[in-house]
A and B are shown apart, each in its own frame.
Chain A
């Protein structure tokens, strides 16, 4: 008995020793993933996430001012200014939508700001009674940007008609107040989020340097993918009929009533995702991000590094998306090829970001907790 134990130990020991010596000779003392994760998280918190929230809030405030001007002097000039500021605020929102964790998650920013298509009959009912609670789940698709989009732009109505709806119409007061209430809710929520980040959450976020479910890195990567999935499905796939046997659903476009902006918003969404991936600040300086982490991990792809494959795919997807003409609600019927071309590249990007990248980072793409094997 004793003998065979010793033999076994010796045998395994020798094998492992030989192996290690051999390894040492060829590879030297290799490092994998030496990387300052908390510096990366600090870059995300200070240079990427908080500044984008602040900018989004400023854009929203600026729209609120223009809207107040419009309510004071109801004419088409003021309406058009308000609309322009609205689009700017909607665009700025695309740069915060992917940060739905911590304070944003608590405030349900994504769902409260941008559940589309909006429920026009629910909005009309709310306006006509003047008695509604925007906090109710039933009003999720009757508030935020999509509701304001509907009210400010209308469907095939002249600018003068829209102005009159806020001016001489029987429900003008209720209608005017409805947008103000939606705006108020959004401003309050963004204030709460920004205060949270500036007070305690930034510290919590930067200190959570692990890779487990609920870690900061895990949340960034999961939300990056959630947003990319939304780009693929909600912004493009669903209007283009990918989920309806090819029957196009133009009314499901984001910013459907404003027209001419759905592709722009999609492009901004993708731009934000690239910024997040690179750790790029709003001023355009490239800080520590997922790209640097993947390089530190020496992650490879079929040819070259995984980081290069992802960066390359971002640029292909961006250029294909740029070839889709506005308004998207028409293009889904008129230029299926352009849409499909962009769609395919977004899917490829999704696979890289949802499968390859998290796998080498040791991050689980799931919003659910459980034991592993």
Chain B
């Protein structure tokens, strides 16, 4: 995409270029890649949900915790209790299944987006860029005609079946994948990653016991090689995926890269999600072949699809166009919002989330909280485990917005129990990328007086020089 824009900047052929872009966006392409994408996405989500429930994480993350760290503006999102949460996950799984087979596709994609996103919004402790990616893709899928081919919907209602769609439907997904890789890549252009090879210099030697490759993981140059390769890979791979000439070697690298990440890091289903979903960049020939293969495998008797191009009516096209302009503008702008804050991004994490900053830092902390009686000056040291799960405590200790949220929660809790004018203070020691731990907040700030909003959090202690 950026390359097309690049050509647009050449003064001679501006008009032609605009035309070329228009043609590129609207030309008819086969729908098979989109249908395969739908099936792959549905199956991956179904597997992820089953894995999530099977690991007991519904209980660990949404039933066991006594409190939840909500997102700004989404304080109304609350868990539904044990039965409710399991029902929600089962509903989500059903929606994923329906997406896979293309049964009531529009409804099930809306349902999947809502249930998945609702769950993610309950507690920012569980924020992962991967989950954010899934939320966005499922949102985009609502607007795609992915059920108009090789689906139960199109089998029941032959009239909606089409063989071709305008290219922009595929481009929506492709651009989103492009953004994920590209921003993950430019986020790696920082001195810790490139000059210090951090945090890989910590994470790779931790696997020195691995057979065959283990002995290389302790070499410093390997950490540098991985860091630089990761950065260059993330920045370049979306360009290579876009070009038919380079897609094959590019996909080879996609597989190598994601299998390596799944080997070294505890990142669950995400590598497989990316390996499967990037097939959308493959030629339509591949996807048509794949669908025919599936058709024979499942012994499905379906009427041959007559050549037809799906053409949404003008109002729909207009609406979609503006929705996507808004969506992608937001996508392009959000990762840069950190520029509004002057302190170190990794230390303060102001503007860190929703920016595809993946696996960028090794951060850990220990937080001590104190509730002080404003009148007597006497204080209690809090046992965080009385209120938080280990995961919540771990996340809270290093993330300033969560420190404030926890302070308010403690204030409320103690005032409910009769302590008037409770003041909550904290000391949290944080280590970032292997540097000595230092206080991110100390007792000179009454944390319960601070408000969590988008303004710079002035109470965050500066990152020490040696960090």
Contact = CB atoms under 8 A, between A and B. Distances in A.
Interface of A: 1-2, 4-5, 8-9, 12, 16, 19-20, 23-24, 27, 29-35, 37-38, 209-213, 233, 237, 242-246, 297, 299-302, 306, 347, 350-352, 354-356, 358-373
B220 interface: yes
B442 interface: no
Contact of B431 (A34, A209, A356, A367): A356
B381 interface: yes
Nearest to B365: A355
A245 B378 contact: yes
Nearest to A370: B391
A373 B128 CA distance: 5
Contacts of B382: 243
A362 B366 contact: no
A373 B130 contact: yes
A151 B269 CA distance: 55
Contact of A370 (B57, B362, B434): B57
Q: From DSSP, what is the main secondary structure of chain B's interface residues?
A: mixed
Nearest to A306: B436
B364 A31 contact: no
Given A33-B208, A212-B266, A243 B203 contact: no
A369 B60 contact: yes
Contacts of A35: 208, 218
Contact of B364 (A212, A350, A359, A371): A359
A354 B266 CA distance: 20
Nearest to A212: B266
A348 B363 CA distance: 18
Contacts of B359: 372-373
A242 B381 contact: yes
Interface string B293-320: 0000000000000000000000000000
Contacts of B265: 372
8 contacts: A5-B239, A16-B232, A245-B379, A306-B436, A359-B434, A369-B55, A372-B267, A372-B359
Interface string B439-467: 00000000000000000000000000010
A363 B364 CA distance: 10
Contacts of B126: 370
Given A244-B380, A355-B430, A356-B436, 18 more contacts: A2-B245, A4-B3, A5-B240, A8-B239, A12-B236, A19-B224, A32-B220, A213-B266, A297-B205, A299-B434, A306-B436, A358-B364, A359-B363, A362-B206, A366-B391, A369-B57, A370-B391, A373-B129
Contact of A34 (B218, B243, B266, B379): B218
A213 B431 CA distance: 19
B394 interface: yes
B214 to A, nearest CB: 9
Interface string B208-221: 11000001001111
Contacts of B381: 237, 242-243
B358 A355 contact: no
Contact of A31 (B202, B218, B232, B365): B218
B437 A34 contact: no
B57 A32 contact: no
Interface string B366-383: 101000010010111111
